[in-house]
Amino acid sequence: MTHSQVWVHVLWTTNKRKPHLVEPVLKKLTDHIREYAISKSIALDSVGGAADHLHCLIALPTVYNLATIIQLLKGESSRWINQNAFLNKPFHWQAGFIACSVDPFQVLKVRKHIGDQEVFHFDNSLAYELAVFLNHSMDTSGLMSLANQN
């Protein structure tokens, strides 16, 4: 029997960090990503974001690697946004993503941070969030300091 408990917090941005994901597009998009993840057997625990980026908390399955999961989620979501003509021009995600592992005992805090993106970004920029994410990805307190600010 195979057992894996590898949690990953992933963040990616819209192309050139343009604020395209305004409501109701953001809500529709996150709902679609959840449905798509289920259809692909991707254990997507949480998804949320702001106008210029998305966060996902994923329990990494044994059948996909992280790059494949992100390729599937980003590819399908951009295709879906364009197919439904939510914007008056083609939508693209920025190339790449940021990911860090999450201690299983910190999953609730990361889940809360993802769910509180609207509140968090009322006072904090994406640049600030990215700096903390990148500077502390090897330090277990990094993302927790973000989560504790909500």
State pTM to two decimals: 0.85
- pLDDT digits over 50-74, tens only? 999 999 999 998 888 999 999 999 9
Give the C-alpha separation, 94 to 134, whole Å: 17
- pLDDT digits over 91-130, tens only? 999 999 999 899 999 999 999 999 988 888 888 888 888 8
pLDDT reported for residue 137: 53
Q: What is the CATH number of domain 7-143?
A: 3.30.70.1290
Q: Where are the domains of the chain?
A: 7-143
Give the C-alpha separation, 140 to 102, whole Å: 8
- 107: closest CA among 50, 43, 54? 43
